Amino acid sequence: MSQIEIKKIVKALNASDGAGVKLKRSIGTPEADYIDPFLMLDEFGSENKDDYVAGFPPHPHRGIETVTYMLHGQFEHEDSTGSKGRMEPGDVQWMKTGRGIIHSEMPAMAGGKLLGFQLWINMPAELKKNKPEYFYIKGNQLGFYKDSEKIVKVIAGKYKDAEGPQNKHNVEPIYFHIVLDEGKEFEFDVPEGHNSFIYLLKGELEIGEKSHDKTSNSSLILLKRGNKLKIKAKKKSEFLFIAGKPIGEPIARGGPFVMNTKAEILEAIQDYNNGTFAKY
Ligand code: MN
């Protein structure tokens, strides 16, 4: 059994995507390009509607999964498979784009606070050609654990008796949203070989046994491999813990497409331009 320690702390970068939505990007940046199998992590959040109201009008994806988790605000979603839905606070949308999907993600609110996350998970070559699949998970379907020291919401994986709705997945993902009271500890056994990280929303954490730099808000804390995770809250803290089994294949990125080779990216662009992209 080996204790998990911090590898690197990365402050999220201000970025903009879609039709000009302001966001903080932490994975998919020069400092944390690809944490196999995780390609991107964005936090979109603002109290100012001008930062998000333009949304993400129709755009394509191929070769990835997108996991969107809303904490505040509402998003309306529509895609080329005919799926349509509204995400409310606490809801998760887990989309496996496979061969291709064209979708839009638009705020369904005139103002107020927006806060959410989008995580991109890579798909192995053998699944990148599949038909798209789309899972819509209401907040009350997430696994939920609570005691006098912490709350753990489980989107994927299992914490004690709380199990997430997304299971039997090729990268065996773990995705927890944790609120930990000041001075309290969170311990968890991580499968050997998984890559893992913490995204700290609020508070300050101590991780593992070794001393390290100060953690603060909107920090991505990349973790070394190991299997014993121990986290202590120096003050009341809120964070995401995410882990997955690496795929170990070469990747080629082309914006919303992630494939194994540059030729497959060009093929995706051609398919999109000649209208055969989202045909199965
Ligand atoms: Mn998208």
- Res 110: pLDDT: 79
Ligand 1 center–CA 197 separation, angstroms = 22
Backbone angles phi, psi at 268, to 5 degrees: -65, -45
- Res 242: pLDDT: 98
Ligand 1 center–CA 28 separation, angstroms = 15
CA distance 58 to 53: 15
How distant is the alpha carbon of residue 218 from its chain centre? 14
Instruction: Classify the phi-psi angles of 136: left when phi > 0, otherwise alpha if psi is within -120 to 50, otherwise beta.
Output: beta
CA distance 77 to 107: 9
Ligand 1 center–CA 77 separation, angstroms = 10
Ligand 1 center–CA 12 separation, angstroms = 20
How is the chain split into domains, by residue range? 6-273
- Res 218: pLDDT: 85
Ligand 1 center–CA 247 separation, angstroms = 22
Residues of the chain whose pLDDT is less than 70?
A: none
CA distance 174 to 42: 17
Ligand 1 center–CA 68 separation, angstroms = 9
Ligand 1 center–CA 262 separation, angstroms = 21
Other CB atoms within a 10 A radius of the CB of residue 104 amount to: 17
155, 184 in Cβ contact below 8 A? no
Q: Which of 157, 181, 229 is nearest to 6 (CA)?
A: 229
Fold of 6-273: Jelly Rolls (2.60.120)
Ligand 1 center–CA 190 separation, angstroms = 29
Return the half-sphere exposure (C-beta side, CA atoms, 13 A cut-off) of residue 216: 4
- Res 83: pLDDT: 86
Q: Which amino acid is residue 182, in one-letter code?
A: E
Q: What own/partner pairs with CB < 8 Å and gap ≥ 24 does 14-18 have?
A: 15/42, 17/42, 17/56, 18/54, 18/55, 18/56, 18/57, 18/59, 18/105
